[in-house]
Amino acid sequence: MKKQIHFFLLHFFKIHIILFLFPICFFFNGCSNIGQETQQPVHSTINQYQSIQGQWIVTDDGYYTLNNHYVYYSSNGEEWYPLCSNIECNHNDEHCNSFVGLSTKIFLYNNQIYYQPDSSDTFHLYCMNLDGSNHRKVKEISFGTIDLSQGYGYSWSINGNYLLVEVSRYEENAKYNGIYYCSLNDTTSKATCVVEGNTTAIPYMAKIVHDSIVMFSKKEGGETILLYDIKSGKQVESTSFVTGFEGGGFAIKNDILYLFSSDIGFYQMDIHTGELTIEKEAQNRVELGVVFYDDTYAYLCNSTNTYVDSLNLVENSMRGLRIYDYDGNLLDTISYDSITGHPTFAFSTEDKVFFTNGDDITNVFPSYYIEKKYIGTNNLILHNINQ
């Protein structure tokens, strides 16, 4: 039964990443200021390691997200507008500045928004300015001798100046994955292969954290965590299997990797030795789902939509938002008993955490938020956003 909730939770998060919705068009009188570039560099350091990575960009000057092929901007996380400085634009065709083709992800580096607008056997990377102008191709990468003719797929992300690409191909009902990376400052079309795998050991869900590539490897008997140090080329594998990690997020702090599994609980792994330990076991019928980390806290929404509730895997009295420190110590909770909808983690800022509504998959924008300063004070409130 736990596998059922893992499937539906993971499927739900994937929907929020890739679902193409009919454009919602706004007429905004001052849209010439939307996403206006500033002389001060912007950055995105929070929630870099999520499975929903690429759905949100968090900066000091505002937030960006994708909605049905178009990039939207918000200065406060509550009101969202197409990232287009043309006040005569209807924001409903490919001529709009906010249009990014088939891209299902956006990332920030060096005051530019990066995206992948098409789907082909060659990886094309584009970027644009923070106001939606000056779209241009910056990289075209071919992955050598990999035969993608039988089917292919890309999963990609950017952290700092690193581009990471996970290539999947299918041959005779067998899946092969390769993990590649390159520097965005490198003008060549080459990418370094970190690891390749087939049906006996398939690497997947790779993310760059600082100067390390973190990935998982499916093997006979279970899954392990692999860490590849970009500077040294050293690879470390966890000393034991990870059980029940179905997505969500993880974080690295002080050379320790932190992640959560509904089957087991809160894991910690030494990134130098690979030693994997269980810091705190998961509480039965309470701590189910996926955990998302920011720079300080870990967030668990154990009730993400009405269907998950119908499976009766979580005690009704325990349904809600649970907030922990990195060691798995519970700091605060918000019950969903009196909440309309199902708040689901979206992104975290320095002061607030935003949530979408799991019952409304046609709305990618946040529907709720909490203020971090009230965590652990018994005064934490889930605020509704009137969109």
The amino acid at residue 241 is F
- Distances in whole angstroms, Cα of residue 367 to Cα of each of 63, 370, 377: 15, 11, 23
Q: What is the pLDDT of residues 223-267, one digit of tens each?
A: 899 999 998 999 999 999 988 777 778 888 899 999 999 889 999
For the chain, give the percent of residues with pLDDT over 70.
Answer: 82
Instruction: Find the length of the chain.
Output: 387
**What is the per-residue pLDDT for 210?**
80
> Is the Cβ–Cβ distance between 188 and 144 less than 8 Å?
no
In terms of Cβ atoms closer than 10 Å to its own Cβ (0-12, 13-18, 19+), residue 14 is middle
Check whether 14 has a pLDDT greater than 90: no
- Distances in whole angstroms, Cα of residue 268 to Cα of each of 204, 259, 273, 329: 20, 7, 12, 13
Q: State the average pLDDT over residues 99-116.
A: 93
**What is the per-residue pLDDT for 9?**
46
More confidently predicted of 72 and 35: 72
Tell me how far apart the alpha carbons of residues 5 and 378 are, in angstroms, rounded to a whole number: 30
For the chain, give the percent of residues with pLDDT over 90.
Answer: 50
Tokens representing 219? 């093997």
In terms of Cβ atoms closer than 10 Å to its own Cβ (0-12, 13-18, 19+), residue 319 is buried
Taking all residues of the chain, what is their mean pLDDT, rounded to a whole number? 83
Check whether 36 has a pLDDT greater than 70: no
Tokens representing 224? 């392990």
At 33, phi and psi to the nearest 5? -100, 0
Tokens representing 28? 């905004």
Quote the Cα angle for 216-219-224, to 5°. 35
More confidently predicted of 45 and 381: 381
Tokens representing 49? 């390691």
CB-based contacts of 338: which residues, under 8 Å, 6+ apart?
none
Lowest mean pLDDT among 1-5, 59-63, 97-101, 214-218: 1-5
**What is the per-residue pLDDT for 49?**
63
**What is the per-residue pLDDT for 284?**
92
Check whether 11 has a pLDDT greater than 70: no
Q: What is the pLDDT of residues 67-103, one digit of tens each?
A: 999 999 999 999 999 999 888 999 999 999 999 999 9
Number of H helices, E strands in the chain: 2, 28
What is the pLDDT confidence band of residue 292, given thresholds at 50, 70 and 90? very high
Check whether 288 has a pLDDT greater than 80: yes
Pairing mode, strands 250-253 and 256-261: antiparallel
Tokens representing 247? 């997505």
Q: State the average pLDDT over residues 133-140.
A: 93
| DSSP 8-state code for residue 69 | T
CB-based contacts of 301: which residues, under 8 Å, 6+ apart?
289, 320, 321, 322, 342, 343, 344, 345, 355, 358
Q: What is the pTM of this model?
A: 0.85
Q: State the average pLDDT over residues 156-175.
A: 82
> What DSSP letter does each residue of 328-377 carry, written as one string?
--EEEEEESTT-SS-EEEEEE-SSEEEEEETT-TT--S--EEEEGGGTTT
Tell me how far apart the alpha carbons of residues 377 and 358 are, in angstroms, rounded to a whole number: 27
Tokens representing 122? 């060659």
